[in-house]
Amino acid sequence: MSGNKISANALETAGLYLLPMVFLFLFCLYPLLLMARYGITDDNGRLTLRYLSEVIHDRIFREVIIFTLVQAFVSALVTVLLAIPGAYLLARYSFPGRSVIMAATTVPFVLPSLVLAVGFLGLFGAQGLLNGLIYDVNSFLGTGIPELELLYTGRIIVLAHVFFNFPIALRILNSRFSNLDASLENAARSMGAGRVRTFLFVTLPQMKYSLISSFSLVFTYCMLSLGVILVIGGLNHTLEVELFSLFNDLKVHQGSALFIIGSLLVMLATGIYLWSSTREGGGSDVSLGEGVARKGGRRPGAFTFFLILIYLAMVVIVIFGPLMVVIRESLLSGSGGDITFSWYREVISRQVDPVLSISPLNAILNSLLFGSLTMLISVPLAWMTAHLMLRSRFIGKGLLDLMLLFPLGASSVALGYGLVKAYSGGPVELAGTWYLVVLVHSVIAYPLGARAIYSSLKAVPGDLMKAARSIGAGPLEAYFKVKLPLILPGILIASVFSFAISLGELGATLMVSREAYITMPVFLYRVIEGGGRQIGPMNAFAVILMAITFLSFLGIEAVKHLFTRWGVER
């Protein structure tokens, strides 16, 4: 009997293990290994270090590598420093609107990068809102305030990366602040240490692994950034932008060599993140989409409340400023500045874009279709993987954990181009089809979904299933009636994040999509690349992309609320 049980468990594990591993190998690891091979072999397939040597010794490539590392370091440092006070205030104090602030800080993480790029164009451009205000002030007061010249500089890249990655650092640090041992702080205060001294010499040292963890994770994301830099970075090429340029110019060997070097750097940053996140207090148990501000906390005094208001104002300006500019520009007529919805009507009614041979409406429909199909593929895979992650030991668990890191730490440009090279010709012809768009979106989306479902699974008490089985419920009945309702929030979060990631994905999609299968981000990028031929329609299209993303998250919150009420009422 025991042998049959072990055999059944082994078969179940093997079944759950096989499909995700095959999927990851075929559509992630194999294309990336293929691109790495091009970097160390010549046209005849012979091993060579020629291309790696060219990249290392070429001045332009060295400048690209150095700039990538510097901007990622500065972006991560500024992001973490900005997140520390917010995480502390949100963890330690109870005040009206705390949950709203936490929800608001999720906005950048789920927002497609090109929406922010359009907002930055409208905010910091030569004819942007801020320079317009400076001109009005100079004209009215006779002052000589210089115009802002942030666009197409390294500073604007850092600002954009802070915008996007602030929620990640905030949540990791908030989770740690919420669980610190308060006795050490109380002891320091009782010995006469002030608030600042206690924070610097008692609280922060307990945060060291969380600080390293958040810094290294943000650093990794900044290394792999593409969309915003393509639009507002100007001539400041990062590794991803340079890869995009090289592969488009069909310089496959040089691009692949640069990909190898970039991958080694990303692996180092990822290794630091994994090391720090496994140390005591280094990681965060917060799943994406969940709030982390704990209940309770002391009421702030007058001065602390003033600091909270200042911080809140800063968050609102940083997060919602660019988005408000996009909405504003989408509603203003080009001449008199009157409110109009004509740009939206033009986007919806335009038959074919004059450059792209596809209508804006078709790009919207493509994104909705591909997002839905990405959910159908990635969520079942995430569900299988989450159950495997919950099992403490089985043969191949380490390999699965490693494989799950590849989509998160891989160049999306190299992944997309590798898929095209891997499945062009031969027995499986996927290049140029919509299947490849959905597959690459699923590869990128599903590891995050697996972590969301895994967080829900960990929270399920282990004795519930045993109790259900003890009263006669079969394995399937116990699972669907007991466990599934409890992990449903994680499944819903995985579904929405899969849809949102598909909706906003740019790098890999640029490499694999044909004109007929252009998605909303690709369409928007091509419009911006063409000089933003019409500012009004461009902003209206960006607002539609932003609105679809927001509605998907609002929908999931509504469904979660309904399921919660249903569970309580039952």
For domain 1-41+337-570, the question of CATH label 1.10.620.20 is answered with no
SS3 93: strand
Q: Using CA atoms in the order 549, 555, 561, 566, what is the torsion angle rounded to 10 degrees?
A: -150
Instruction: Say how far apart CA 479 and CA 464 lie, in whole Å.
Output: 10
The full set of domain ranges for the chain reads 1-41+337-570
Q: Which residue has the higher pLDDT, 18 or 245?
A: 245
pLDDT of residue 451 exceeding 60, the answer is yes
pLDDT, tens digit, 9 for 90 and up, residues 162-214: 888 888 888 888 888 888 777 777 777 777 777 778 777 778 888 888 999 99
pLDDT of residue 568 exceeding 80, the answer is no
pLDDT, tens digit, 9 for 90 and up, residues 382-414: 998 888 877 756 666 677 777 777 887 889 999
Cα end-to-end distance, the chain, whole Å: 37
Output the pTM of the full model.
0.85
* CB-based contacts of 181, cutoff 8 Å, min separation 6: 206
pLDDT, tens digit, 9 for 90 and up, residues 234-263: 888 999 999 999 999 999 999 999 999 999
Q: Of 276, 236, 238, 277, which Cα lies nearest the Cα of 259?
A: 238
Instruction: Say how far apart CA 477 and CA 376 lie, in whole Å.
Output: 23
Query: Encoding tokens for residue 169?
Result: 């650092």
